[in-house]
Chain A
Amino acid sequence: MEDRQLITNAIKDHQAFKQLVERYYSSLLAVARSIIGESLAEEVVQEAWLSAYRNLSKFEGRSSVKTWLISIVANEAKSRLRKESRSISLEGLASNDDSSFSERYGVNGQWIKPPAGWHSESPEALLDNEQFRSCLKKYMTTLGEQGRTALILKDMQGLSLVEICNILGVSASNVRVLIHRARHVMFENIENFQETGSC
């Protein structure tokens, strides 16, 4: 059954709501983890589903059901962060900046530290490597909160820039910067793994 039909049915039919939960639980968990971390993510997702249930009748269909649900869980996670008195400022824009990557270019804009050759340029082969998968988890935690969230929403959840802007509450240009910087951090981490074989 299509998402919108499930939303309509879910107001009176718990099984329809359960189908939505089963369909999007892992996506919502990934977004919650990116904002608030592993320990509180499941709790936040649970609250988000309750909030979605309470607001089923308010879903107007202006966005996809997935985007609507992700917005709810992102708001829930940010609100929880505020309660935990942890900063949700634009730290992603301030920290993890692109300075280390910028240093690879000279004043004339040419490479002074060009990328080295990689042993493996196959994403599948890299992800088959257990050591690499373990490093990748660590790499994600080194990203600023907003950069990590933007990257997960774009590259893992396939949301558009406009949808990400609305969820994070930042401008389109800032979202582009966050994603580009986060990808550069990941690029350099993968490059380091290729050179050293460790994180």
Chain B
Amino acid sequence: MLRCKELSELSEDYLDDNLPFRKKAFVLLHLFLCKHCRRYLTQLQVTREVIHQSENTTMRKADEKPLIDNIMKQIEVEAKKRS
């Protein structure tokens, strides 16, 4: 029988559906019997989703246009050097 700590070690592969059949069966059996690990896995999945979705909401949105214009100016200088 899988222990709770061992389930944690397999949790990422389980959520990514990367576990071989036998290990996945052990995880499913453990989850059937352990409410704490069911909650842990649900919350780990929420954590992953929060991080995944957070880029657009938490990253400071730089005003990209002047920065991109500046990069393109440098590219033009670089191109002139080459020609």
Contacts and interface: CB of A to CB of B under 8 A. Distances in A.
A80 interface: no
Interface string B63-75: 0100110111011
Interface in A17-45: 17-18, 21-22, 25-26, 29-30, 33, 38, 42, 45
Nearest to B70: A46
A108 B3 contact: yes
Interface residues of A, number: 50
Given A14-B75, A38-B60, A115-B40, A121 B68 contact: no
Provide the main secondary structure of the chain B interface.
helix
A187 B44 contact: yes
B55 A191 contact: no
What class of interface size applies to chain B in its complex with A? Answer: 35 or more
Contacts of B50: 123, 126-127, 136, 186, 190
Shortest beta-carbon contacts, A-B, top 4: A109-B3, A114-B36, A123-B49, A109-B5
Interface of B: 3-6, 8, 12, 36-37, 39-40, 42-44, 46-55, 57-60, 62, 64, 67-68, 70-72, 74-76, 78-79
